Structure 1
Amino acid sequence: MASPALALAQSPPLKSPAVSVTRIIPHCWSELPLDLMRMVFERLGFLDFDRAKSVCSSWQYGSRQCKPNNKIPWMVLFPVDKNYCLLMNPEDKEKIYKSQHLGDNFAKSICLTTYRSWLLMQHRYKEKEVLTRTYPKHYVYIIDLLTHERINLPAFKSDKYGLSNPILWIDEKTKDYLVIGMANSFILISFKKGNNSWKEIPQLPKSCTDDCFNMVYKDHMLFCLNCSFLHIFDFSGEVPLKFFRTSVRGYIPTEGGYISRPCNPCMSFCKCNMVVTLSGDVLIVKSFVPRGPKTWTFEIYKMDPSTENNWEEIDSLGDESILLELGITVLAKGQEGITRNSIYFTENKYFGGYEKNGIFIFNLDTKKVEQQPQPFVSLSIPLSHAQWFLPNFKRE
């Protein structure tokens, strides 16, 4: 009988285990499933979205099911006597987009404010009417500058300025809208979807509307600022309800938010704006605007009822940036085309007599003002106005 060692030696050699080889079949990017393609497009900003949809026909089709994930403000520019706008995306500083024709009377109107892609427009009054003090009714309408959808509002009687300190809000899904503004010696009027005419808001006390020079509307809350108080009203119901009031004495100049002070060898002016942040904090932004060679400076105060004076000065916005004329902040962290901890403002908002309108950024880190790169300054078309807006791109 063979020994175990000999038997082991005589046994056939062990075979290597079979290895399953799977051939890797290359796939074409144009054959991505539509669900995956949507996930890609929904994460792209406007510029990358525009590039991606031109890759091939299937990506072009996939892009129609999505919209750009835009989170940065654009600029809308208003050429003089033209029925169109010029749009500038800070991500693409070398390109200017031209809107389509926005109506025969668009050139005769002025943009009062913006909300997302919507513009609140008011017909301009004529110089002859100003000289004779015969102010006609003011005609106001809302228009989406991307889709050209238009909502005409009833005319109303007012002084030569029409609607001042206007507020515009629109629900993109239901198309519910609300317009609020001051008219006729600081009477607060409003118009919302379903109304037949403008309505005075009697629930707001006269102490609120007197000398009110700045309003912000956010999350169905109306913030009204005058030289004495900040008032907050809840507009979520049928009747506005008073929610909160706090003093701003000592922080606000006494004449409509403006004050002059010596600035050797010239004068500078202080302008106050109210801003509501993403988290709901209320800020007062004091802008010291020079008339000479000096540059802008800013002071920011945050409402804090736990402090003795209800306000504390802050020197940083963190990862947010302020759009001063819109009275809001936007998230700037990781967003190409917008600088965090900065204040975005327009020069033409402060003094209407300026011949040159400018878009500027004040960086709170460097304490310096930078003019937003503007390739349009070389255009032969004179510009009458400039505004910030947050485009909302709808599906095709």
Structure 2
Amino acid sequence: MSNNVNWSELHADVLQLILERLNIVTYVGARTVCKNWYAVCKRITSVQDKSPWLIIFPAGRPKCGSCLVLDFHTFRLTGKYKFYRLHNLGNDFSSHRCIATCGGWLLMFDLRSSLYVVNVFTRERIDLPPLESDPGRLRVERRPDTNFIINKSSVTTRNAINKTNAVLWVDERTKRYIVVWSIGLWYMMYTRSGFDSWREIPTREGPENLHGCQGIAYKDNKLYVLSRQNQIRILDFSQELPLALPNNVEENPFTNEKPWRVKIGVTASENVLMVKNRLNKILKILKMDSGRTSWDTVESLEGEAWIMDLGVTIPAVNGINPNSIYYSKDKYAYWGEVSTQELKKALDVDLNRNFSYARWFIPSLREL
């Protein structure tokens, strides 16, 4: 048999079967091999890894427009780290901060206190309105030193990033998007496709009655806001303007307990979860009962895994451990199981000075 195989002429149906089995990073590379391979890729509607990956961001080095991604499922199977480098993300990429993800899309905060969305696989970029565009009660002014002023109070970019909660949703096909973010407890803003400005979501007054924001999650056109009092407010984003739903959750399950870090999440069946944790230990996981009147202690995630960076659970398929949790904090990435209440270190970014922090994400790509 001849070894001179012309892979560019491989039968399209056979090639498609091969391409559909590649991980997403290898698939993206395969798209660029030749015109025939690219044409077959266009027959594949979308590619999505069903297990969580880690995206590792570079330290603030000049003109560094790349990052690394790690297939954590493969690492767990083989015990060996397999990193992939994604290039051409912009010369200033290393000095910007990722504050939310959606598939292959990243919500980035740059040093000029602006936000934009970029796809790490296609390099598409969506520039969001400037922060000072908000026409309402929230006044944002930009300063020459890269800090900005909110309602006459000076906020440094670093403090804003450290106190920011954000969610991003992007439709892979139409590129329609929704972005919600908060600075600290009291300021929440949102924008979406077609808007030329940011708009405020009141947190201290109005029908939303949020009483501050210390965490947010987004699923199926609903924004779940964790208030300062550990109560849940739900806003419907199915229309142009968000609407506060009447079935908000009033009870605070941690009233008489120490104020450890609290996060929220939403399951596939839209049950609201709340977890109290320290850096490497899960202290308690609660789930709102079906009547939204009380919280029940969670012993099992019922065949799902909770990606805390995304605020949602995913089905435990393709080797993902059911009842597992994936969590990151700056230079550390953790995973663990609900039954043990322990979080194991998945990656220590601090071991390499070329990188600054990591996030869990579920990579996906839709062909045009």
**Is TM-score (shorter-chain normalized) higher than 0.5?**
yes
In the alignment, does 2:280 pair up with 1:282?
Answer: no
Match of 1:238 among 237, 240, 246: 240
Name the CA shift for 1:37/1:306 in 2 (closer, same or farther; >3 Å): same
For 2:239, the aligned partner's letter is: G
Name the CA shift for 1:101/1:330 in 2 (closer, same or farther; >3 Å): same
Whether contact under 8 Å (2:115, 2:128) holds in the other structure is yes
What residue is the counterpart of 1:298 in the other structure?
A: 283
Moved over 6 A (4+): 30-33, 47-53, 57-61
Question: Which secondary structure does the structure 2 equivalent of 1:325 belong to?
Answer: coil
Question: Which secondary structure does the structure 2 equivalent of 1:107 belong to?
Answer: helix
Q: Which runs of 5+ in 2 are unaligned?
A: 76-80, 132-139, 141-149
Q: Which runs of 5+ in 1 are unaligned?
A: 1-27, 125-136, 261-269, 290-294, 349-356
1: CA distance, partners of 2:177 / 2:28: 30
Match of 2:321 among 310, 331, 339: 339
2: CA distance, partners of 1:344 / 1:63: 31
In the alignment, does 2:225 pair up with 1:224?
Answer: yes
Shift of 1:185: 6.5
Question: Which secondary structure does the structure 2 equivalent of 1:283 belong to?
Answer: strand
Match of 2:87 among 96, 100, 123: 100
For 2:122, the aligned partner's letter is: T
1: CA distance, partners of 2:261 / 2:351: 30
2: CA distance, partners of 1:238 / 1:50: 34
Whether contact under 8 Å (1:177, 1:192) holds in the other structure is yes
Please, which moves more after superposition, 175-184 or 317-326? 175-184
Q: How does 1:239-254 map to 2 (within 5 A)?
A: 239-243=241-245, 244-251=247-254
Cα displacement string for residues 224-269 of structure 1 (whole angstroms, at most 9, x for unaligned residues): 1111521111110122222221123233679xxxx45xxxxxxxxx
2: CA distance, partners of 1:242 / 1:369: 35
For 1:142, the aligned partner's letter is: V
Cα displacement string for residues 184-208 of structure 1 (whole angstroms, at most 9, x for unaligned residues): 8723221111111111235983763
Shift of 1:342: 0.7
What residue is the counterpart of 2:143 in the other structure?
A: none
Name the CA shift for 1:215/1:64 in 2 (closer, same or farther; >3 Å): same
Whether contact under 8 Å (2:202, 2:208) holds in the other structure is no
For 1:286, the aligned partner's letter is: K
Shift of 1:368: 3.8
Q: Who wins on radius of gyration, i.e. which is larger? A: 1
1: CA distance, partners of 2:114 / 2:26: 39
For 1:88, the aligned partner's letter is: L
Match of 1:86 among 49, 62, 68: 68
1: CA distance, partners of 2:174 / 2:180: 19
1: CA distance, partners of 2:311 / 2:222: 13
Question: Which secondary structure does the structure 2 equivalent of 1:101 belong to?
Answer: coil
What residue is the counterpart of 1:18 in the other structure?
A: none
1: CA distance, partners of 2:218 / 2:321: 24
For 2:242, the aligned partner's letter is: P
2: CA distance, partners of 1:326 / 1:208: 24
Question: Which secondary structure does the structure 2 equivalent of 1:212 belong to?
Answer: coil
% identical aligned pairs: 28
2: CA distance, partners of 1:180 / 1:91: 30
Name the CA shift for 1:252/1:145 in 2 (closer, same or farther; >3 Å): farther
Please, which moves more after superposition, 238-247 or 311-320? 238-247
What residue is the counterpart of 1:11 in the other structure?
A: none
Name the CA shift for 1:339/1:252 in 2 (closer, same or farther; >3 Å): farther
Match of 1:317 among 288, 291, 301: 301
Whether contact under 8 Å (2:332, 2:347) holds in the other structure is no
Shift of 1:347: 3.4
Name the CA shift for 1:305/1:329 in 2 (closer, same or farther; >3 Å): closer
Whether contact under 8 Å (1:332, 1:340) holds in the other structure is yes
2: CA distance, partners of 1:99 / 1:49: 13
In the alignment, does 2:353 pair up with 1:384?
Answer: no
Shift of 1:37: 5.5
Shift of 1:47: 8.3
Shift of 1:34: 3.9
Name the CA shift for 1:40/1:208 in 2 (closer, same or farther; >3 Å): farther
Q: How does 1:77-226 map to 2 (within 5 A)?
A: 77-82=56-61, 83=64, 84-93=66-75, 94-124=81-111, 138-156=113-131, 157=140, 158=150, 159-160=155-156, 161-162=159-160, 164-183=164-183, 186-201=186-201, 205=206, 208-226=209-227
Name the CA shift for 1:252/1:275 in 2 (closer, same or farther; >3 Å): farther
Question: Which secondary structure does the structure 1 equivalent of 2:209 belong to?
Answer: helix
2: CA distance, partners of 1:59 / 1:218: 35
